[in-house]
Amino acid sequence: METMRNSPWSRRSLKDPDVTMAQSAVLRHLDRRAGTLVREPGYVPCAQAMARRVASRPFLVQRLHEWSLFRAVALWQPWSRDALTEASNWLQLKIAENPDNIEAAVVLAQTGRTKRIRSAARAALTRQDGRLTPATLIGRS
């Protein structure tokens, strides 16, 4: 299985003269690979290698950082409430729609960037345990 670390394809893509196309192609590759590896031990070295490769592309660096935050939340590793509330709509919605971490879902139900994110987080919390209501989880009566 090809990993982010040993991908000659992403290296070649970043050299494409059409910067937008290059970034789009690498983003798609990054999202696919990170999505596959995010819960695996091999994610960390692969993400480090990709970070070196995309260091000159702020958007790609941000996306990789957000995948790492997603990983921390999903695996119940330390993460920052501020980092989650400042994260992009993409990441907040990804976590809100399928929360592995109830604490993160509660944060997003309270402070998600958009109504859609807050609603998705509340709905996911309700699905996780039918006895719990969103109002109970976020301190409303």
Report the C-alpha gap between 101 and 55 in whole angstroms.
Answer: 30
Q: pTM for the full model? A: 0.81
pLDDT digits (tens, 9 = 90+) for 63-98: 999 999 999 999 999 999 999 999 999 999 999 998
* Residue partners of 125: CB distance under 8 A and separation at least 6: 99, 102, 105, 106, 109, 132, 134, 137
Give the residue, 1 or 8, on which the prediction is more confident.
8
